Each structure stands twice: as C-alpha cells, then as structure tokens.
Amino acid sequence: MKNKFKLILAFLCLSSSIFAQLGSEGAFDAKSFGLAKTYNAVSNGVYSIGINPANLAAFSADKVEIATILPLPSFSIKAGTNFITINDINYFFGKQNGQARVLTDGDKQRLMDLFADGGTGSASMTINLFMMKINFDQSFGTIAFSINDVVSARFNIPSSIPELALYGNPAGKVFDFSSLDAKSWYLRSYALSYARRIFTSSSYPYDILTAGVTVKYVQGFYYAGTSRVNSTLSTGTSNQIQGTADYVAYSAFSGNFGVKYDFDSVKTKSSFSLFPDPAGTGTGFDLGVSAFLGDTWRLSFAITDIGKIKWTQNAAQFTATGSIYLDDITNSAQRDSLKDKIVGKSKKIDSFETNLPTALRIGISNHVTSSLMIAFDYNVGFNDMPGNSVKARYSIGCEWDLLNWLPYVRSGVSFGGYYGFGWALGAGFRLFNLLDINLATSDFNSFAAPNKAKYLSVALDTKWNF
C-alpha cells in the first residue's frame, strides 16, 4: 500500500476529528442536541427528516420552512472517545520535566484499566445543504425535500493492542484482536418525504394519527472499513512467536480523491469538486407513525435508514490469512513472511455492499404546562455501521419557553449507546416570527469540567418560516 493511501486510510478510519452520519446516535439540528438527542416525539417540520417523517404532518402555523446555508450554515459536530479524558492524555502522553514520561507499573495498570471494555472513539458532524417543507391542505398532506452531506467515522481498539505495547509479548500470553473495528464513509443523501393524517377523531384537533415515509437516494464518495478481524498472537515457551492472521477490509473512493492502490499501474490526480463522482450509490427508506393524544401527549415510532449502498468505483479488498510463526528473528525469510501475513494483500474487486445505519426510534413527549415540555426517547441500531450502535440509548429532554422575549432553554441527559452519558444544554429563539436560530451542545459536562472531557460537541442551525 502506498504511503499516500496509508495516510488517507488511517486518517479516515482512525481519526476522531471528522464527520458522521445520523443512525441511532446522531443528530443534525441544534434543538435535538440541546435535548440530549431526545427528538423522536419532539421533532417538527424539516427537522423531522431522518428522524420520523410522520412528524412532518404535526400541527404547524408555518406553511413553508426552508433551512439552508444562509444566514448561517446549519451543522453539528461531536468528537471524542469513551475511555480517555484530556487529563489522561496529558498525563500518559505528555512530558515530565521536559522529557517523555516513563510509566511506572502502576501507571501501566491504570492505562490498561482505561481499555478494560475496549477503546472506542468516534466523531460526528452533519452539514445541511438544503431542506424545505411545504404544508398543503389536510386531505393531501405535507411534502419535504432535503440534501445533506454526512461523513462518519468510528473505531474500537481492543485491549490487546495497548497491552502488547506496554508489556511486550510474554510467553504463554495470547493476544486476541477480534474486537478491532474501524469504519468510515462520506455520504450525500437526497431525501423526499411525504406525511399526512391517517386518522382524525371527532375531538379534532386532538387525538389524531399521522404516518410518513422518506425515500432517499444516497451517493457515497468514500468508504474504508474492516469487515472481519480474527487475528491472534502469542509467544511460545521457547520464545517463538505464533498465531493466526485473519482479517478482511474493504475500501472505495471517488475518482476525485486521486487514491492509488498498490495494484494500480496509473497514478491519478485529486481534483476538488462540490459534486464528486460517487464511488457508490444506494437507496434508503424511513417509515414512521405518530399519535397526538389530547392537547399535550405525543407518541412516536419510526424505523430509519432501511437500505444499502453498492460501492463500485475504485473498490478494493484487503485480506490476510494463514498461520504466523517466527522462531528466529535474524531469519529474513521468516521476517518477510510475518510482515506479509500481518499486512495482508490488496486486490481490485468489482463491487461490495454496505448497509445503511438502520435504527429503531421510539419516543413520547408531554407538554406539562404551556411553557414546559418533557420528552423521553429510546433509540437502538440494527448494525454497527458508522453513526449507529446496537447498544440501546435512552434519553430525557426538557424545553422551557419562559417568556416570549426570552430564548427557549433546553436541557437533557442521555445514557447508553455508543457515547454513554451526556448532559446537554441549548437555547433557541425566533426573530420577527421569521427566522429560527438554535445553538447547543450535547456534552455540556465537558465544558463544565474540560479536563475530564471525553467528548466535545456543538451544533448550530437556522431555519426560515413562512
């Protein structure tokens, strides 16, 4: 693999400072961030896209909503790890008396304890290019359209890697790397949504049921990720190194990125474009229903991102298979064989497929008073694609509208999922009954105690209402 491709693959798969997709863990609007991503029964208008399309048909005095890059771009960013804080990084990898710190046995054990459940890291960002919602009459319903760029990266470092680095490879110790995982992609989705009321009781405008569907055309501009890792390594009683190399990984890149594999005979130049050639394409669907009970309760149920992407441009497969054995480190043939087994081989393939981050979303909200709303969410992913987690996430959020001339104040807490605990805080207001502006973080605890921060996040959005 050429150095250029190594750098790109390492950056895209293992960095925590790039972008991310929705899935069960994500959010692209600041209102959701301020509510600790408690959005299933709360989202309205264009911000229902990707969460529950049925909420497009919720009560709204605005016939048209538009969110775009003006007057301010709408985006959200989240980055960090679940296992190491800023204090830990400064201690273990900082300098002591001007020199690299020499770790004691106690330091090594403390560092290993951080990896007790593996070391996961990720980042999240979404950029809204354009979203628009139009309310028609009740008999027809609501239509919405959106274009969003999303890039996603996540990784998991098994405890065997830091243990091997800290203690070497003692005799009889088996290192299992099967939990190693790294995935990243850059997607652009074009989504068309439709929602309408499917039941209205005699007590209208209360007790109604809405349903919605979103159809997505997805372009993928790159993908790089592991598919299977079952490699092991150990040292025998006679200090021989033995084990098994077994992993499979895939990648695909738009021609605009100028990536060159080992097996490529011709080098291509990278070229910037707002509309890169896709490396893969696919389709996805969101399905949702919402129930409005009385004038205070709302129940929400949705399944999002049902679909796949087929990657065809510059598609490659990386594999390593076979037994590892080394009993003479001075033997160049054995060293070369070990290197080949660990690094593996790459080859061009016609195509491969990846799932979209399919997720189940359930939510309930209640307007306790005219100025206070409380909501509860349950989100869980059906796969481990970027932005998703098969570990359920629970959250509760509150929104206060204290006085008309003060901003909305939002807060909430989230538990479980990929990120674990997060305390959110946000605010929003409407200017001249025309422009909504929201600002939030889903990790206010990191700002309150920055040295103990594991994740940092911020979100900003603007929306025009007519």
In tens digits, the chain (466 residues) has pLDDT values of 444 434 333 333 333 333 334 688 877 789 999 999 999 999 989 999 999 999 998 877 678 999 998 888 888 888 888 888 888 888 888 887 778 888 888 988 998 988 877 788 887 778 889 999 999 987 899 999 999 998 888 888 888 888 888 887 777 788 888 888 999 999 999 999 999 999 988 776 678 999 999 999 999 999 999 999 998 888 777 777 888 889 999 999 999 998 888 888 777 788 888 899 999 999 999 999 999 998 899 999 999 999 999 999 999 999 988 888 877 666 777 777 777 777 788 999 999 999 999 999 999 999 999 899 999 999 999 998 988 889 999 999 999 987 777 789 999 999 998 888 899 999 998 888 899 999 999 999 888 888 888 888 999 999 999 8
Res 205: pLDDT:
66
Alpha-carbon distance 304 to 282, whole Å? 15
Q: Are the beta carbons of 78 and 417 closer than 8 angstroms?
A: no
Residue burial 114-144, b: 16+ Cβ < 10 Å; e: rest: bbeebbbbbbbbbbbbebbbebeeeeebbbb
Alpha-carbon distance 23 to 420, whole Å? 15
Res 22: pLDDT:
66
Does 442 map to a domain? yes
Res 225: pLDDT:
94
Res 4: pLDDT:
40
> Which residues pair with residue 458 across a beta bridge?
77
Res 289: pLDDT:
97
Calculate the CA dihedral of residues 431, 433, 436, 437 and round it to 10 degrees: 10
Res 117: pLDDT:
72
Q: How many other C-beta atoms are found inside a 10 Å radius of the C-beta of residue 431?
A: 10
Does 106 map to a domain? no
Does 102 map to a domain? no
Q: How many other C-beta atoms are found inside a 10 Å radius of the C-beta of residue 89?
A: 12
Res 15: pLDDT:
36
Res 295: pLDDT:
83
Res 329: pLDDT:
65
Res 5: pLDDT:
39
Res 362: pLDDT:
97
- The number of domains in the chain is 1
Assign residue 378 the CATH number of its domain: 2.40.160
Q: How many other C-beta atoms are found inside a 10 Å radius of the C-beta of residue 213?
A: 14
Res 366: pLDDT:
96
SS (HEC) of the chain: CCHHHHHHHHHHHHCCCCCCCCCCCCCCCHHHHHCCCCCCCCCCHHHHCCCCHHHHHCCCCCCEEEEECCCCCEEEEEEEECCCCHHHHHHHHCEECCEECCCCHHHHHHHHHHCCCCEEEEEEEEEEEEEEEEECCCCCCEEEEEEEEEEEEEEEECCHHHHHHHHCCCECCEEECCCCEEEEEEEEEEEEEEEEEEEECCCCCCCEEEEEEEEEEEEEEEEEEEEEECCEEEECCCCCEEEEEEEEEEEEECHHHCCCCCCCCCCCCCCCCCCCCCCEEEEEEEEEEEEEECCCEEEEEEEEEEEEEEECCCCEEEEEEEEEEECCCCCHHHHHHHHHHHHCEEEECCCEEEECCCEEEEEEEEECCCCEEEEEEEEEECCCCCCCCCCCEEEEEEEECCCCCCCEEEEEEEEECCCCCEEEEEEEEEECCCEEEEEEECCHHHHHCHHHCCEEEEEEEEEEEC
Res 290: pLDDT:
96
Does 431 map to a domain? yes
Does 91 map to a domain? no
Does 320 map to a domain? yes
Does 107 map to a domain? no
Does 62 map to a domain? yes
Range of the domain at 50: 3-83+118-465
